[in-house]
């Protein structure tokens, strides 16, 4: 909202409806089958797109990003419709659906190497160092293009990497160190991976330490735990 307000032309009005809006996410390989029983034309919603749809008579806007690494839908509705929407989806899923919180989704997205806004990318980062150049449309004009072109020419000062530890769990803010114990970066997200059975995380390091299989350390309570840089995603895909 701050960014939009600072770049809004005259005659444009904005309203922040965040507190009036509810969001639920139905994720997994059965999500399409389950939601199709109470919503029409889901197949017309392609990946990374969205559309207005009624779910069991409730007005919603549905996107299909699959932020857990599987096919899935993100469902937005009026706040007052959230309870009925939840109940309708749970009833439609029956024994094939289970409730899960944001902690579970955070673990799933980390295993897929997906970044989280506010944690892995902030106002202090740019898409080139975060591995998001694929989302930059160089053929178009946009605010900040000249700055990004300069960074692209000179090279980035840090890169986002995947981290896997032999033991221990990396957490946000923990120091990343090199072979000699010198600080080379910091962890932005971390958890224990249920699928891999080890601690994994994301973080920024100096470019010379970003190559996969580079040995690094994470400082946890004044003790250094050994790990390596890994190519993302940690898991190739889900079933």
In angstroms, the Cα distances linking 24 to 87, 107, 183, 202 are 11, 17, 40, 26
- Report pTM: 0.89
Percentage of the chain with pLDDT > 70?
99
Domain layout of the chain by residue ranges: 2-99, 133-230
CATH number of 133-230: 2.40.30.110
Is the CATH number 3.30.1360.120 carried by domain 2-99?
Answer: yes
pLDDT band, residue 238 (cuts 50/70/90): low
Residue pLDDT, tens place only, 137-162:
999 999 999 999 999 999 999 999 99
Q: Considering Cα of 170, then 172, then 173, then 177, what sign does the dihedral take?
A: positive
Return the closest-CA partner of residue 200 out of 237, 236, 161, 239.
161
Same fold, 2-99 and 133-230: no
């Amino acid at each position: 909202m701050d960014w939009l307000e600072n770049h809004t032309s005259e005659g444009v009005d904005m309203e922040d409806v965040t507190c009036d809006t509810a969001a639920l996410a139905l994720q997994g390989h059965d999500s399409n089958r389950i939601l199709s029983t109470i919503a029409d034309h889901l197949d017309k919603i392609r990946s990374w797109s969205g559309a207005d749809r009624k779910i069991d008579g409730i007005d919603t806007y549905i996107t299909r990003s699959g932020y857990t690494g599987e096919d899935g839908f993100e469902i937005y509705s009026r706040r007052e419709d959230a309870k009925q929407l939840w109940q309708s989806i749970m009833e439609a899923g029956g024994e094939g659906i289970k409730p899960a919180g944001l902690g579970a989704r955070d673990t799933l997205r980390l295993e897929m190497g997906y970044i989280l806004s506010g944690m892995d990318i902030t106002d202090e980062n740019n898409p080139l160092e975060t591995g998001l150049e694929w989302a930059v449309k160089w053929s178009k004009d946009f605010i900040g293009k000249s700055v990004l072109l300069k960074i692209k020419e000179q090279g980035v000062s840090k890169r986002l990497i995947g981290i896997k530890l032999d033991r221990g769990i990396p957490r946000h803010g923990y120091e990343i160190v090199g072979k000699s114990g010198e600080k080379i970066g910091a962890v932005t997200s971390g958890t224990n991976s249920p699928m891999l059975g080890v601690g994994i995380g994301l973080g920024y390091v100096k470019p010379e330490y970003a190559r996969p299989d580079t040995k690094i350390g994470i400082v946890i309570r004044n003790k250094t735990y050994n790990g390596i840089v890994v190519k993302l995603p940690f898991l190739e895909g889900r079933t």
